[in-house]
Amino acid sequence: MSPSVRLQELIRVIRSARTQCEERGVIQRECAAIREQFRQNDNGGRSHNLAKLLYVHMLGYPAHFGQMECVRLIASPRYSEKRIGYLGAMMLLDEKQDASLLITNSIKNDLSHSSQYVQSLALCTLACMGSAEMCRDLAPEIERLLKASNSYIKKKATLCAVHIIRKVPELGEMFTPSAHSLLSEKNHGVLHGAVVLITELCERNTQTLDNFRKAVPELVQIMKGLVMSGYSPEHNVAGISDPFLQVRILRLLRILGRNNDRASDAMNDLLAQVATNTDSTKTAGSAVLYETVLTVMDIRSESGLRVLAVNILGRFLLNNDRNIRYISMTSLLKIVQTDHNAVQRHRGTIVDCLKDQDASVQRRALELSLALVSSVNIRSLMKELLLFLSTCPPELRAHAASGIFIAAEKYAPSQRWHIDTILHVLTTAGSDVRDETVPNLIQLITSASELHCYTVHKLYRALVTDISQQPLVQVACWCIGEYGDLLLKGDCEETEPVQVTEDDVLDALETVLQSHMSSPATRAFALTATMKLSTRITENVDRIRSIVSIYGSCIDVELQQRAVEYNALFRKYDHMRAAVLERMPVIDKGQTNGEMSANNIKDLEQTDVKIPEVPLPSNQLCLEVCDLLDLLGGSEEPLQPSQAPPSSVPTPSSTGTGQDLLDLLGGVCPAPVPVVTGVTVYEKNGLTVTLQCDQRTETSVTVSLLASNSTDSDITSFSLQAAVPKSVQLQMKAPSGDVVPAHGAGQVTQTVILMNPNKVNLKMRVRVSYSSQGSFCQDTAQIDSFPTTAWS
Amino acid sequence: MMRFLLLFSRQGKLRLQKWFTPLPERERKKIVRDMTTLVLARKPRTCNFLHWKDLKIVYKRYASLYFCCALEEQENELLALEILHRYVELLDKYFGNVCELDIIFNFEKAYFILDEFLMGGEVQETSKQSIANSIEASDMLQETMEEYMSKPAF
């Protein structure tokens, strides 16, 4: 192929290549020729070659060898070469390449070129890929061009200045004086650039912002001129005069009027005028109205204006155009917290949007619906949300499910309704719910004691229909194990009675145990439930015995361990079986596992054998604690690593044999009743950590650190680290979890034991680290004095 | 500000890319791949806005080309639709009934027009006529130089 083939010819040849391989071949040959040409410094064809290279680059092939050629072409005196050279620089060079520094000098020269088109090339390139270094060097030039040039160059220089400020914010002061004077220009291009420049300056520096507030009347004047002016063919878009400029001015007014009464007053009339006069049949008008609404909601506007704005959004909601519905919901989401009642009026339309085919619109409608839930509309709204959950796209299911749970928890009109709702969610979107749902639901069920019969019937029916949704199966197994006797009794006031025999129940549980769809945790639940039924049924105890013994040789260690223990319970400790498998007491939400379990089994203490303290299992295993047997089985589990530097998690000395049942059963140290009073150690961003002293002896102190969260969103990745003076030994137990739920719904607890044999003055430094509302925080707090216990 | 502007065909072939922030080559390729996948997967009568990472993506289909741009959080999406439309109008005026082939074979001219309309991610000039005049004048400047040197441009 001839090396000086024209660009268009090359493009044609590449496009006619029939396979990827052929195309690659053509391009490689051409690139080789181009490289050769670059080396030869051939004067005539340089711009062809770079253009060809840029085309090849756009197809995705490497073109870095063209960088130096760009530099050379930029320095050429010919306009056509400069033009393609600058284009190449914008495409191939960025601030990370060394070659970019080499063009600084050329740009500097071109900025003072006699032809304005050459100047414009330089300005454009600087604004596109200028690094901080280049910006610093050339800023004085740009400032000069801002002041003394024609409007063509002025508008470009202004945007170049915007880029410079973005790269090097300190240079903002250089452009501030000229920025204000630019507002008196008539040329719309320059005016637009000036508004962008002032916006950028104000966003970065509050002093400049205060300064520019005096420009508000001027801006209002310009805006009025645009709105009231007659038809101007040059700037007209669908009946709106220069919507680009209008939107920009409105945005600047928003920034200037925020939190400032005087400025907001000055623009009230204008905003009302724009809101009423703008024709919104086409997108241009809607864009201006949208910006106006955003501005009205953000500044200190009077209430009449706010109502007008919300009404505009309401009108947008009914618009046929999906885009407009989408953005109206986005804006409503922003104001739903402050103007809740106004948005409630449009609830019907929003709920209709849940049924839209467009996933973006559905997402917005979902967020807005969740924000609109209140105690008044909870029943009707929940119906819609549950309907939505069954038909929504998979990417929205998790969000919808967790939103429904939060709403149900806040506003549930009755416990039965709450349980029904959660069950509904579990059956429709069971695989998308969070892990904490299972223990939360179980806690809820235990607390609704009059509904046990109803619940277990419903769950049994759900289990028999479908065993693929793990959270549902887990809850169902637990309930059947716990309330199996109510299920077998058959009569229940709330639902239709169904005759369930013991065999049916055991069949169901066995299906879960054997199904390949069940996760290991689910199978563990099912095994435990089967075991519990041995005290609640009369005839098929042998069947249970055989099931349990089969699993004694199961590959899954957890199942095997449980099965072996239950076997032992059948054989050696049969006399204890009834007591051990008794009905669980009501679980208190938010208490730590260790304390709760200790309180509950105090009465079952049989012997005085001294046993090491049972370490606190992690939040995910907290369910295990609810089931007494599981505690005995679960305490052997490897514990969550605790956070303190000199930490040593005491592992129980025993392993899973029958011997331990007795030890651990008798030996769980009754944790003392937690002291109500605590010292606040850390309080920031809605997160409060308090210290409670649990036990104090001559040489050791046991304290609990409790963390609670009063913000609207959960705090995640929460962890505590502690350090103490040298002679003191620190032992941190595993925390109860690492998510602190929002609105103080629960607490995270961590027990710390301080061994102080030398009886020095106890001090502790605690480091708190967590993620809240998207940002990661880390803080330290010092505890200088430990509170005494209430009853010492 | 606009972070980037991409033009690609229905088969996902890139026809124009303008980046307003510095990004390494690998990053750019990945973004192009992500955008083409996201936008081409959209059904016909859905809205023109998407959410991707922390940016708002606005796209519009004109014949066989998708015009796709990414905006920062505080930008006005409806105005972005107007910006894309204005760019298409400019191309149309310049090429006379523009089609995808025009943009393929004259990509450098498409870039020159874009550089007269947008700069640093912001709108530079709001008057169609003014932009058309500048492009014409620049082309004249190029042609007269070429005639003088008696060699074709590319």
Residue B81: list chain A partners with CB under 8 A. Answer: 283, 287, 323
- Please give the DSSP secondary-structure letter assigned to residue B62: E
A55 Cβ partners below 8 Å, 6+ apart?
A: A7, A10, A11, A14, B107
Residue A11: list chain B partners with CB under 8 A. Answer: 104-105
> The tokens of A59 are what?
């197809």
- Per-residue pLDDT tens for A540-571? 788 888 888 888 888 888 888 888 888 888 88
Q: With pLDDT > 90 as the criterion, what percentage of chain A qualifies? A: 24
A667 Cβ partners below 8 Å, 6+ apart?
A: A607, A609, A610, A611
Q: What is the pLDDT of residue A469?
A: 81
Q: What is the mean pLDDT of residues A37-47?
A: 78
> The tokens of A185 are what?
């220009």
Residue A58: list chain B partners with CB under 8 A. Answer: 14-17, 107
Instruction: Look at residues A651, A673, A684, A649 and name the one whose alpha carbon lies nearest to residue A766.
Output: A684
- Per-residue pLDDT tens for A197-232? 999 999 999 999 999 999 999 999 999 999 988 778
- Per-residue pLDDT tens for A639-655? 333 333 333 333 333 33
- Which site among A244, A291, A395 would you substitute to test the B interface, given the most B Cβ atoms closer than 10 Å to its Cβ? A244
> The tokens of B7 are what?
């033009």
Give the integer Cα–Cα distance in Å for A747 and A709: 8
The reply to whether residue B76 touches residue A58, judged by beta carbons under 8 angstroms, is: no
CA-based nearest residue in chain B for residue A358? B46
Neighbours of A791 (CB within 10 A): 7
- Per-residue pLDDT tens for B47-91? 899 989 999 999 999 999 999 999 999 999 999 999 999 999 999
Q: What is the mean pLDDT of residues A138-153?
A: 90
The reply to whether residue A244 touches residue B82, judged by beta carbons under 8 angstroms, is: yes
Q: What is the mean pLDDT of residues A230-248?
A: 88
Separation of CA A126 from chain center: 37
- Alpha-carbon torsion, ordered B87, B89, B93, B98, to 10 deg: 90
- Given a cut of 50, whether residue A765 has pLDDT beyond it is yes
Kindly list the distances between the CA atom of residue B126 and the CA atoms of A114, A278, B7, B117, B121, in Å, as whole numbers in the listed order.
Answer: 25, 19, 21, 8, 14
CA-based nearest residue in chain A for residue B32? A60
Number of CB pairs, chain A paired with chain B, less than 8 A apart: 164
Residue B101: list chain A partners with CB under 8 A. Answer: none
**Cβ-contact A679, A701 below 8 angstroms:** no
| Mean pLDDT computed over every residue of chain A | 80
CB hemisphere CA count around B107 (13 angstroms)? 25
Q: How many angstroms separate the most distant Cα atoms in chain A?
A: 105
Shortest Cα distance from B66 to chain A (angstroms)?
A: 16
Kindly list the distances between the CA atom of residue B40 and the CA atoms of A63, A322, A325, B35, B36, in Å, as whole numbers in the listed order.
Answer: 28, 18, 22, 8, 6
Q: Which of B45, B145, B152 sits opposite A79 (nearest CB)?
A: B145
Q: What is the distance in angstroms between the CA of the first residue and the CA of the last residue of chain B?
A: 33
**Cβ-contact A670, A611 below 8 angstroms:** no
Of A69-73, A375-379, A664-668, A676-680, which range is least confident? Answer: A664-668
Q: Which helix (H) or strand (E) holds A718?
A: strand A715-723
CA-based nearest residue in chain A for residue B82? A284
Q: What is the pLDDT of residue B154?
A: 59
Residue A283: list chain B partners with CB under 8 A. Answer: 78, 81-82, 85
Q: Which of B24, B50, B74 sits opposite A96 (nearest CB)?
A: B24
Q: What is the mean pLDDT of residues B19-46?
A: 92
Shortest Cα distance from B122 to chain A (angstroms)?
A: 8
- Per-residue pLDDT tens for A249-271? 999 999 999 988 999 999 999 99
Of A424-428, A606-610, A777-781, B95-99, which range is least confident? Answer: A606-610
The reply to whether residue A94 touches residue B23, judged by beta carbons under 8 angstroms, is: yes
Q: What is the pLDDT of residue B147?
A: 60
The phi and psi torsions of B2 (rounded to 5 degrees) equal: -85, 135
Q: Which of A:210-249 have CB within 8 Å of B? A: 234-235, 237, 242-245, 247
- Given a cut of 90, whether residue A96 has pLDDT beyond it is no
Q: What is the mean pLDDT of residues A299-325?
A: 89
Q: What is the pLDDT of residue B97?
A: 92
Residue B51: list chain A partners with CB under 8 A. Answer: 360, 363
Residue A44: list chain B partners with CB under 8 A. Answer: 151
CB hemisphere CA count around B11 (13 angstroms)? 3
- Top pLDDT among B72 and A767 is at B72
- Top pLDDT among A441 and A365 is at A365
Of A314-318, A415-419, A421-425, A785-789, which range is least confident? Answer: A785-789
Touching check for A323 and chain B: CB below 8 Å?
yes
CA-based nearest residue in chain B for residue A121? B115
**Cβ-contact A152, A188 below 8 angstroms:** no
- Please give the DSSP secondary-structure letter assigned to residue A650: P
pLDDT tier at B45 (50, 70, 90 boundaries)?
Answer: confident
Model-level pTM? 0.70
Look up residue A538 and give its amino acid: T
Give the integer Cα–Cα distance in Å for A29 and A69: 19
- Per-residue pLDDT tens for A530-542? 888 888 877 878 8
A326 Cβ partners below 8 Å, 6+ apart?
A: A358, A360, A361, A364, B47, B49
Look up residue A23 and give its amino acid: E
Q: What is the pLDDT of residue A251?
A: 95
Give the integer Cα–Cα distance in Å for B133 and B137: 6
- Per-residue pLDDT tens for A728-755? 888 888 788 778 887 777 788 888 888 8
Instruction: Look at residues A247, A250, A341, A230 and name the one whose alpha carbon lies nearest to residue A301.
Output: A250
CA-based nearest residue in chain A for residue B128? A234
Give the integer Cα–Cα distance in Å for A14 and A5: 13
Q: What is the pLDDT of residue A257?
A: 92
Separation of CA B122 from chain center: 13
Neighbours of A414 (CB within 10 A): 10
What are the residues facing B19 on neighbouring strands?
B4
pLDDT tier at A56 (50, 70, 90 boundaries)?
Answer: very high
Neighbours of A488 (CB within 10 A): 19
Q: What is the mean pLDDT of residues A145-161?
A: 91
Of A552-556, A787-791, B55-59, B94-98, which range is least confident? Answer: A787-791
Give the integer Cα–Cα distance in Å for A761 and A782: 14
The phi and psi torsions of A689 (rounded to 5 degrees) equal: -115, 125
Give the integer Cα–Cα distance in Å for A493 and A495: 6
**Cβ-contact A182, A159 below 8 angstroms:** no
Q: What is the mean pLDDT of residues A320-348?
A: 87
- Given a cut of 60, whether residue A475 has pLDDT beyond it is yes
Residue A324: list chain B partners with CB under 8 A. Answer: 78
Q: What is the pLDDT of residue A142?
A: 94
Shortest Cα distance from B45 to chain A (angstroms)?
A: 8
Neighbours of A754 (CB within 10 A): 21
The phi and psi torsions of A673 (rounded to 5 degrees) equal: -60, 130
Q: What is the pLDDT of residue A42?
A: 64
Instruction: Look at residues A315, A316, A295 and name the one whose alpha carbon lies nearest to residue A306.
Output: A295
- Please give the DSSP secondary-structure letter assigned to residue A64: G
DSSP-based three-state secondary structure for A516: coil
CA-based nearest residue in chain B for residue A193? B124
- Please give the DSSP secondary-structure letter assigned to residue A740: B
Q: Which helix (H) or strand (E) holds A170?
A: none
- Please give the DSSP secondary-structure letter assigned to residue A760: P
- Per-residue pLDDT tens for A367-391? 989 888 888 888 888 888 888 888 8
**Cβ-contact A368, A350 below 8 angstroms:** yes
> The tokens of A752 are what?
């710390």
Q: Which of A188, A327, A357 sits opposite B126 (nearest CB)?
A: A188
The reply to whether residue B126 touches residue A192, judged by beta carbons under 8 angstroms, is: yes
Give the integer Cα–Cα distance in Å for A446 and A415: 11
Q: Which of A44, A155, A166 sits opposite B124 (nearest CB)?
A: A155
- Given a cut of 70, whether residue A502 has pLDDT beyond it is yes
Q: What is the pLDDT of residue A291?
A: 94
- Given a cut of 60, whether residue A670 has pLDDT beyond it is no
CA angle centred on B44, ends B38 and B48, rounded to 5°: 60
- Please give the DSSP secondary-structure letter assigned to residue A250: H
Shortest Cα distance from A236 to chain B (angstroms)?
A: 9
Q: Which of A:720-759 have CB within 8 Å of B? A: none
Exposed/middle/buried for residue A44 (C-beta within 10 Å: 0-12, 13-18, 19+): exposed
Touching check for A65 and chain B: CB below 8 Å?
no
CA-based nearest residue in chain A for residue B16? A58
- Per-residue pLDDT tens for A583-628? 777 777 664 344 334 344 443 443 333 333 333 333 333 344 344 4
Q: What is the pLDDT of residue B112?
A: 95
- Top pLDDT among B76 and A792 is at B76
Q: What is the pLDDT of residue B100?
A: 92
Residue found by looking up tokens 């076997």 in the block: A567
pLDDT tier at A397 (50, 70, 90 boundaries)?
Answer: confident
Shortest Cα distance from A79 to chain B (angstroms)?
A: 6
